[in-house]
Amino acid sequence: MLRIARNIAAGGRLDAVVATHRHRDHISGFGGACGRIIASLRPAVVVQPWTEDPDAAPGCPAFSEIQNRSAIANLSAMGKRGRAMYLYAGSPSGLEDLLPGVEISVLGPPTLVQSAAIRHERDHDPNEFWEFLRFQPWPAGMADKPDLFPGAPRFHRAGAPPSLRWFLARLQRLGSEQAREFVRVLDRVLNNTSVILLFRVGDFRMLFPGDAQIENWSWALGQKQYRDLLRGVNVYKVGHHGSRNATPRSLWRLFAHRSANAAEPCRLLTLLSTCACRHGREQDRTEVPRRTLVETMARESNLFTTQELPCSKPWRDFDFPLSGPRHAR
């Protein structure tokens, strides 16, 4: 990673950093010596999911308990020096000014309001997590709070009648405690917070979902405008190293450029960064990468996987399908 950081620094500048989510295999390079090199390049924009926004739990001491603290602190500091963007589905990416001519759509992660309907789809997740989130303080950038009691008088703590001040203080303390608990619980479901970005250059579309899994995808796949965008994807960076729940079957079926014809000039290109025997077991159908998914991608797309890279040549040239009836080189 240190060699990679130095190679990046050789360019003399870094316009943007995208940290899809907080898992170690995605952000560890932003900590320690590597992180200091990246920080020295002063990126103009630092992109993270909305769940990393300090305003989501201001002054929350639980942030000192989360994993990958060095990398997280460095990302936060870089964002303060430049421009910090905490994304949610449908929000601006903050990258538009850096990429003229490129349209960028943020498909995930959904906010708690947007994802309220998907609670019941995850029967293997603790019910306490989703029920608990109903009472969370609303993070910055989310939709406006619903007016539960229209017409009722409103008070801030300082201007409230004496009879209400004790109650408001207790309510504020409860919200702070719930925010701290939210940060701890979130560490167990970080793939649900992964940023999903879709880049469009003319008709050419590239999809980068990080480690987003089915629960993260559910909201975007339920929106017609996003389904229309996803149909035209030409390059798909395979989600979560090819795990079984990160490439929903409904998503795969949307890709109009997937084809069993290997000679198709605009055939879908899939890029898979993975390593076998790190997670799950084939006999349980939980192995990563999932065999049936890899077989399908190999049959219906031009699949490039890190498992094919020889140790003596840890890189590979990619022939992007830019030519053809729909694309100009």
| 245-261 per-position pLDDT tens digit | 888 888 998 999 999 99
Strand duo 204-208 + 235-237: pairing: parallel
pLDDT band at 183 (very low <50, low <70, confident <90, very high): very low
Neighbouring CB atoms inside 10 A of 75's CB total 26
* pLDDT for position 69: 85
* pLDDT for position 261: 93
159 pLDDT more than 80: no
Lowest mean pLDDT among 46-60, 89-103, 112-126: 112-126
| Average pLDDT of the residues in 222-245 | 91
Q: Are 65 and 72 in contact (CB under 8 A)?
A: no
- C-alpha to C-alpha distance for 212 and 193, rounded to whole angstroms: 7
- C-alpha to C-alpha distance for 127 and 135, rounded to whole angstroms: 14
- C-alpha to C-alpha distance for 112 and 136, rounded to whole angstroms: 9
Tokens linked to 23: 């898992």
Q: Are 39 and 74 in contact (CB under 8 A)?
A: yes
For 324, list phi and psi in degrees, rounded to 5: 125, 180
123 pLDDT more than 90: no
| Average pLDDT of the residues in 141-155 | 52
2 pLDDT more than 90: yes
- Exposure letters 185-202 (e unless 16+ CB within 10 A, then b): ebeebbbbbbbbbbbbee
160 pLDDT more than 70: no
- The residues, ordered by sequence, that sit 6+ positions from 49 with a Cβ below 8 Å of its Cβ are 20, 21, 86, 87, 88, 109, 193, 194, 195
Neighbouring CB atoms inside 10 A of 251's CB total 21
Choice between 174 and 79, residue whose per-residue pLDDT is larger: 79
| Average pLDDT of the residues in 209-238 | 91
268 pLDDT more than 60: yes
Residue of 75, 295, 302, 80 whose CA lies nearest to 195: 75
| Average pLDDT of the residues in 260-288 | 81
Choice between 150 and 73, residue whose per-residue pLDDT is larger: 73
Looking at every residue in the chain, the average pLDDT score rounds to 77
- Exposure letters 1-10 (e unless 16+ CB within 10 A, then b): eeeebeebee
C-alpha neighbours within 13 Å on the C-beta side of residue 167 = 7
* pLDDT for position 275: 81
Residue 256 bridge partners (DSSP):
none
pLDDT band at 307 (very low <50, low <70, confident <90, very high): confident
Lowest mean pLDDT among 35-44, 69-78, 314-323: 314-323
| Average pLDDT of the residues in 95-112 | 93
- C-alpha to C-alpha distance for 2 and 37, rounded to whole angstroms: 9
* pLDDT for position 256: 96
Residue of 212, 300, 289, 285 whose CA lies nearest to 254: 300
Choice between 174 and 165, residue whose per-residue pLDDT is larger: 165
277 pLDDT more than 60: yes
- C-alpha to C-alpha distance for 107 and 207, rounded to whole angstroms: 10
Angle, vertex CA 251, rays to CA 110 and CA 98, nearest 5: 55
302 pLDDT more than 70: yes
- C-alpha to C-alpha distance for 70 and 84, rounded to whole angstroms: 17
What is this structure's pTM? 0.74
The DSSP string of 27-49 is: HGGGSHHHHHHHHHT--SEEEEE
* pLDDT for position 271: 95
With tokens 């703590």, the residue in question is 157
pLDDT band at 242 (very low <50, low <70, confident <90, very high): confident
35 pLDDT more than 80: yes
pLDDT band at 324 (very low <50, low <70, confident <90, very high): very low
